[in-house]
Amino acid sequence: MRKQFAVIGLGRFGSSVCKELYKLGHDVLAIDNNEEKVNNMTDHSTHSVIASGTDESALHSLGIRNFDYVIVAIGDNIQSSILCTLILKELGVSNVWVKAQNYYHHRVLEKIGADRIVHPEQDMGIRIAQHLVSEKIVDYIELSDEYSIIEVIATEKVSNKSLDQLNVRAKYGCTILAIKRGNDINISPFPSEMIELNDILIVIGHKNDLKRFEEEGM
Ligand code: ATP
């Protein structure tokens, strides 16, 4: 379903979010107080507007309240990021996602009602570290302090075996959610599904269980 997004702050993070949402077929309003940043986004957004994220009347006139999600990607200027978030919540925006610079910024954003706070640099750092330590792990998404989703490459040890035979849930306590093979993805594999060498398994579980599965089961 087509959704309405607004991205405020078009630095590296904001502009990537904006481009990708637009590419995925959604309506995206791109906002920045820097004219050049706004011009760079004209071909990658539905509308691009020069405005400050701290200008309440400008945001109100843009009908910001009606957007499904507003992403605040104002980076270095923590004060503007906080003020912008506060205005958005006061205007009644239901989903405000904000990029935080540090722990204190995060805590303030939490207090003023940001719906989701992201730390792209830290998250990416963790994912890259996971790739570095294990050649089998091709991607890693942290769900909480305890749970994650990993994408692992099927080795000889698991190939030509069915999910039933592998019995990953009973042996390791984690679940194979989906299997990627080339460009195809099977999101609800049957227990009889056979795993082939170099398939990518998308597995969810407790971090300790995933580690055990990756080290002993793969
Ligand atoms: P990134 O890492 O995503 O490049 P950054 O952490 O370097 O971001 P900045 O470059 O400081 O962050 O800010 C991101 C964008 O936010 C810039 O394009 C800047 O012009 C814009 N910006 C800063 N303050 C405001 C504001 N009050 N209203 C709208 N846009 C703003």
For residue 143, what is the domain's CATH number?
3.30.70.1450
Total tally of structural domains belonging to the chain: 2
Q: Which of 177, 198, 206 is nearest to 135 (CA)?
A: 198
Last residue of a domain, one of 91, 118, 145: 118
Last residue of a domain, one of 118, 153, 180: 118
Residue nearest to atom 20 of ligand 1 (CA): 34
Is the beta carbon of 120 within 6 A of some atom in ligand 1? Answer: no
Cβ-contact 174, 203 below 8 angstroms: yes
Task: Give residue for tokens 């958005």.
Answer: 88
Task: Quote the ligand 1 centre to 40 CA distance (angstroms).
Answer: 14
196/138 same-domain check: yes
141/107 same-domain check: no
Residues 69, 85: Cα–Cα separation, whole Å: 12
55/146 same-domain check: no
Q: Provide the β-strand partners of residue 71.
A: 7, 97
Is the beta carbon of 12 within 6 A of some atom in ligand 1? Answer: yes
25/105 same-domain check: yes
Residues 173, 63: Cα–Cα separation, whole Å: 47
Atom of ligand 1 nearest to the CA of 84: 27
Task: Quote the ligand 1 centre to 93 CA distance (angstroms).
Answer: 20
Task: Say yes or no to pLDDT of 127 above 90.
Answer: no
Backbone angles phi, psi at 53, to 5 degrees: -70, -5
82/113 same-domain check: yes
Task: Quote the ligand 1 centre to 14 CA distance (angstroms).
Answer: 8
Task: Give residue for tokens 């099927």.
Answer: 154
Task: Say yes or no to pLDDT of 84 above 80.
Answer: yes
Predicted pLDDT of residue 17: 97
Model pTM score:
0.77
98/143 same-domain check: no
Which domain covers residue 154, as residue numbers?
123-217
Last residue of a domain, one of 89, 118, 147: 118
75/140 same-domain check: no
pLDDT tens-digit series, residues 148-159: 999 999 999 999
Task: Average the pLDDT over 194-212 and give the result.
Answer: 93
Is the beta carbon of 32 within 6 A of some atom in ligand 1? Answer: yes
